[in-house]
Amino acid sequence: MADPTILWLRQDLRLHDQPALAAAASEGPVLPVYILDDVSPGRWAIGGAQLWWLHHSLASLGEALEARGSRLVLRRGEAAAELARLAAELGTRRIHAVPHHEPWWTDAEDRVARTHDLQLHDGNQLAPPRDVVNGGGTAYRIYSPFFQALQQHLPPHEPDPAPERLVPPAEWPAGDSLAEWSLLPTKPDWAAEFPALWAPGEAGASRSLDAFAGGVADYLDRRNLPSEEGTSRLSPHLHFGEISPATVYHRAVEAGDGAGSKFIKELAWRDFTQAQMAAHPAIGERHARFVFDRFPWRRSEEAADDFVAWTSGRTGYPIVDAGMRQLWRVGWIHNRVRMIVASFLVKHLLIDWRDGARWFWDTLVDADYGNNSVNWQWIAGSGFDSNQFVRIMAPLTQSTKFDAAGLYTPLGARACRPRRRNDPRSG
C-alpha cells in the first residue's frame, strides 16, 4: 500500500467540492486530521459561540467520513508542530490542504511548507485573492472595481461530488475524542437556544441552501427586514467551509437569481473581505486609514458602563437592545441590525470599533476575521472602502424604516445577563 497522505482540515469541513480531499484521495490512503490550534491565532483563538458550532460540525464530518470507510483524527496544539509529529508517525511528508488567508494560518502554512510537501488547493472563495488584483498586481481597496474584476473569473467551477469511498491508512494514529475538548458550554448553557435555529455540518448547510433557493427571488425585497426570513443564513456554513461558495453561487443562479444580482454581490463581498485580509493581515487590529489612529475614542474605564449596557442589550434603544439580546441567545443577528448596533457603539457611545469586533468574535457563530474586521471598519469610517464617520445609522429612524411594524424589537423584552460570555475552554 502507498504511504498515506495527510488531509489538513480547518475551515473547510466538507466532503463535497473539497479540492484538497479530492487530490489526497487520488493518491491513495488518506488521513483526515483536524487540529484545534489555540496557539497560532494568539488573541484571535476561536471564540465561544464558534466552539459550539465547531463541536457539532466535527461530529457531523466524522460520521460522514466513517460512512466512507475513513475517520477523522483530532489533535490539539500548535498546528505546524502537530502536523510534523503526525507525519513522522505515519512516515509521510505529503500534506494536502485548502489555503486560508487569516494571518495565523498563512504563517502556519509557511512553517509547514519549509519541512514538508504541502500541496494547497483553492476552494474557499469564488476566485483566489491572488487572481483578483488591479493593474499593478495589488489587491483592490474598493469593492465596486473588485466585483467588476471578479466577474472575469465567474462563473466558478462546477462543484465536484464527494468521494464514495476513501482508502484508510494501514494504521490509525492516536487522536483525541471530541468530548475531551469540552467545547460545549454547561454552566451556564448559554447555547440552549442555538439548536432551534442552527444545524451545523454539511447536511445542515445543504438544507439551508435548499430553503433559501426556494425564495431567492425575494431576496432583494426582504433582505433588509430583520423580522423576516429573507436572508440565506448560510454565513456560518460558509465560514466553517461546510459548503463551497461555488456550490452556493451555482444554486442561486439556477434558482433564478442573475449572476449580477444583489445576493451574488453579497457572496462576492465575502471574497472582497478575504482579499482585504490577505493583503492587510492586521486589518482586525489597525485602522486602514491611519488618520483614525488619532481619533479620540473614549477611554475604556470611562466607557465601561456603556459598553456593558451595549453588550447586554440595556441601552434603552429598542432595536439596538433587541439585536444584542438576540446575538446572545442564538449567536447571530441580521446584517441590517449588525450595522445598527455597530454604528451605535462607535458613533453614539464613541467606543473603539475594535472592542465591538472582539465582542462579535466571541458571540457570533459566523465570526470571520476578514468579514468581521472589514465590516466594523466600514461602519467606523476607518476602512479603505467605508462609510463616512459622520453618516450615522440613527437607531430610531432605522427602527421605523426596517422594524416591520414592531415585529423585531419585541425580542428586546427578553432577559439577557450583563456579563461577557466566557470561552468554554477557560471555564
User: What pLDDT digit, counting tens, does each position of 359-379 carry?
Assistant: 999 999 999 999 999 999 999
Within a domain: 163: no
Q: Which of 104, 266, 359, 361 is catalytic?
A: 266
Q: Look at residue 173 in the predicted model and tell me its pLDDT.
A: 96
Q: Look at residue 86 in the predicted model and tell me its pLDDT.
A: 97
Contact between 154 and 275 under an 8 Å Cβ cutoff? The reply is: no
Q: Is the peptide bond preceding residue 188 cis, with omega within 30 degrees of 0?
A: yes
Query: Model confidence over 248-282: pLDDT tens digits?
Result: 999 999 887 676 688 999 999 999 999 999 999 99
Q: Which of 335, 361, 371, 378 is catalytic?
A: 335
Which of 105, 122, 139 represents a domain boundary (last residue)?
Answer: 122
Q: Which of 190, 198, 376, 378 is catalytic?
A: 376
- 371 is a catalytic site residue: no
User: d(Cα 146, Cα 103) in Å, to the nearest integer?
Assistant: 21
Within a domain: 31: yes
Q: How confident is the model at residue 401 (pLDDT cuts 50, 70, 90)?
A: confident
Q: Are residues 206 and 340 both part of a single domain?
A: no
Q: Which of 353, 359, 361, 378 is catalytic?
A: 353
Within a domain: 183: no
Average of per-residue pLDDT across 177-181: 98
Q: Are residues 252 and 379 both part of a single domain?
A: no
Within a domain: 96: yes
Query: Model confidence over 125-138: pLDDT tens digits?
Result: 999 999 999 999 99
Which of 212, 245, 279 represents a domain boundary (last residue)?
Answer: 279
How far is CA 13 from each of CA 19, 61, 109, 201, 423, rounded to the nearest angstrom? 12, 7, 18, 8, 22
Q: Are residues 406 and 315 both part of a single domain?
A: yes
Q: Look at residue 296 in the predicted model and tell me its pLDDT.
A: 95
Q: Are residues 217 and 321 both part of a single domain?
A: no
Average of per-residue pLDDT across 55-74: 98
Q: Residue with C-alpha cell 513522522?
A: 88
Q: How confident is the model at residue 283 (pLDDT cuts 50, 70, 90)?
A: very high
Q: Look at residue 1 in the predicted model and tell me its pLDDT.
A: 58
Query: Model confidence over 18-44: pLDDT tens digits?
Result: 999 999 999 999 999 999 999 999 999
Q: How confident is the model at residue 424 (pLDDT cuts 50, 70, 90)?
A: very low
User: d(Cα 275, Cα 131) in Å, to the nearest integer?
Assistant: 10
Within a domain: 175: no
Q: Look at residue 415 in the predicted model and tell me its pLDDT.
A: 41
Q: Which of 8, 269, 328, 422 is catalytic?
A: 269
DSSP label at 320? H
Question: Residue 119: beta bridge partners?
Answer: 96
Contact between 384 and 283 under an 8 Å Cβ cutoff? The reply is: no
Within a domain: 284: no
Contact between 418 and 307 under an 8 Å Cβ cutoff? The reply is: no
| pLDDT over threshold 80, residue 405 | no
CATH number at residue 227: 1.25.40.80
Domain, as residue range, for 115: 5-122
Query: Model confidence over 233-256: pLDDT tens digits?
Result: 999 999 999 999 999 999 999 887
Q: How confident is the model at residue 419 (pLDDT cuts 50, 70, 90)?
A: very low
Query: Model confidence over 209-227: pLDDT tens digits?
Result: 999 998 888 888 888 888 8
Q: Are residues 267 and 132 both part of a single domain?
A: yes
Q: Are residues 148 and 225 both part of a single domain?
A: yes
φ and ψ at residue 179, rounded to 5 degrees? -65, -30
DSSP label at 130? G
Q: Look at residue 407 in the predicted model and tell me its pLDDT.
A: 79
Q: Are residues 143 and 15 both part of a single domain?
A: no
DSSP string, 166-193: -PPPSSPPP---GGGG--S--SS-TTTT
Average of per-residue pLDDT across 399-405: 78
Consecutive H or E run containing 56: helix 48-66
Whole-structure pTM value: 0.94
CATH number at residue 310: 1.10.579.10
Q: Look at residue 417 in the predicted model and tell me its pLDDT.
A: 41
Q: How confident is the model at residue 409 (pLDDT cuts 50, 70, 90)?
A: confident
| pLDDT over threshold 50, residue 284 | yes
- 171 is a catalytic site residue: no
CATH number at residue 35: 3.40.50.620
Q: Are residues 115 and 22 both part of a single domain?
A: yes
User: d(Cα 187, Cα 152) in Å, to the nearest integer?
Assistant: 51
Q: Residue with C-alpha cell 494568539?
A: 42
**How far is C-alpha 146 from the geometric centre of its chain's CA atoms?**
20
Q: Residue with C-alpha cell 484521495?
A: 25
Contact between 331 and 368 under an 8 Å Cβ cutoff? The reply is: no
191 half-sphere exposure, CB direction, 13 A CA radius: 25
Count of structural domains within the chain: 3
Biggest alpha carbon distance in the chain? 67
Q: Are residues 112 and 230 both part of a single domain?
A: no
Residue 368: which residues within 8 A CB-CB, separation 6 or more? Answer: 235, 239, 270, 273
Q: Are residues 294 and 348 both part of a single domain?
A: yes
Q: Are residues 275 and 317 both part of a single domain?
A: no
- 190 is a catalytic site residue: no
User: d(Cα 278, Cα 293) in Å, to the nearest integer?
Assistant: 22
Within a domain: 113: yes
Instruction: Tell me what the pLDDT averaged over the chain comes to.
Output: 92
Which of 226, 258, 279 represents a domain boundary (last residue)?
Answer: 279
Contact between 380 and 389 under an 8 Å Cβ cutoff? The reply is: yes
Q: Are residues 370 and 351 both part of a single domain?
A: yes
Within a domain: 228: yes
- 266 is a catalytic site residue: yes
